[in-house]
Homo-oligomer: A and B are copies of this chain.
Amino acid sequence: MSVSKRLEAASQFGTPAYFYDLDAIRTRIALLGDLFAGRFGVSYAIKANPNPALLEAIKPLLSTFDASSLGEVRRALAAGMPAARITFSGPAKRRAEITGAIDLGIGELVLENSRDARIASAHAVEKGVVQTVLVRINPKEVPRRFGASMAGTASQFGIDEECLEAELPFIQSLPGLKLVGFHIYSGSNCLHAEAIAENFEIFARIFRDAQKISGIAPTRLIFGSGFGVPYLPDEEGLDHEALPPLVNPIIDALKSEPAFKNANCNLELGRWIVGPNGWLLTQVVSEKQSRGKSIRMCDAGFNNHLAACGMMGSVLPRNWIFENLSNPAGETAVFTLVGPLCTSIDRLARDVHLPEVRIDDFLSIASSGAYGLTASPTQFISHPYPKEIVLRDGELFEATEPLRYHRYDQAETAG
């Protein structure tokens, strides 16, 4: 993506602003179909970025939306996705979320534990329906080189692999549920094709075990992809061209077995699709030379981008990929970039090398399409809410969402 569109977006709409290249995002989803030659449908994890214009733009290219809250189920419906093509996972679904999703006719409820199952079955029976469900499984192992991992240790997610024999028969015994398949998401943000293939090999083994225990012929298998994106200047991206020769044989072997003949395989991903096609745009508001450092104060801080400030699970904050959109040919110097908040932890970059950064210059932070705006404390210190700008069919539009928090009544919030 050229600098000019980002500069145009910042100048035209003002900052702070998130900028999403919907055209590139659609291309990237289409690429998945080509890469795996139709072996996988794509399930988009709304949590990565729930912007309504984005959901609407990508909906035609997906098999399903994966929602992680009832609020996200409603977002999927608002984007025009039929309820039957929404899956709903999440380790702590409130009772009202489970019953609400069934009432909305959700396609697949992903059960994370037997409590989910009991509540769902009782409600389905009461309504006189049978709810289609998947069971999420938490593996004993995840290969090294995943950025964040839920597997192998104690975890709130899914049914631990070693407990399947005890728990699957109970779930299958419940009259309101129909088990049609399994879901595994054991680690995220992996940049190594071999590790992803190794992980899928583990998934295939577990799917076979779960098939044997349950006796069903699964029609749906969800592969939590873990496809990562580079955040730091020296990181190499995932070589997606390397994936098919490693991954396709795993899927082909599985599908050649009679029990898996009708298994509809899905890649669940969010970050890999939207992350690299989003930027935070910020403007330099003020400057200060202080004790040997050239400090530039920007209009966006951790209130607008928690992850880029190293505050979302990072152990050591490191500089993300910054560009000076307004002065790309300026002489390079070293800057400290901070946000507008009255706290010393509001730091965007330390000692970052950039073309001279001047007051009023627009800067961008790359890899910001996923876990950006909605994962940030936008209310902190009552600064303006960031705009959201999209590039669609080559044109710029503002797509800032009117903030609508779902207000749940007492019954709905009860656990």
Contacts from A to B (Cβ < 8 Å): 13-15, 45-47, 50, 68-69, 71-72, 74-75, 89-95, 112-113, 115-116, 138, 148-150, 153-157, 160, 188, 283-288, 290-293, 295, 297-299, 306, 311-313, 336, 338-345, 359-360, 373-385, 403, 405-408, 410, 412-415
Contacts and interface: CB of A to CB of B under 8 A. Distances in A.
A335 to B, nearest CB: 11
Contact of A154 (B75, B91, B291): B291
A332 B85 CA distance: 44
27 contacts: A14-B414, A47-B342, A71-B381, A71-B384, A90-B342, A92-B286, A92-B299, A93-B286, A94-B285, A94-B299, A112-B286, A148-B345, A149-B344, A154-B290, A155-B290, A283-B413, A286-B415, A311-B313, A312-B345, A373-B379, A374-B382, A375-B380, A376-B377, A378-B379, A378-B405, A379-B405, A382-B406
**Majority SS at the chain A contact face:** loop
Contacts of A93: 285-286, 340
A230 B235 CA distance: 40
A79 B50 CA distance: 34
A316 to B, nearest CB: 10
Nearest to A408: B384
Given A154-B291, A155-B290, A381-B69, A415 B359 contact: yes
A9 to B, nearest CB: 13
Contacts of A343: 148, 188, 313
Contacts of A412: 384
A7 to B, nearest CB: 15
A374 B384 contact: no
A345 B92 contact: no
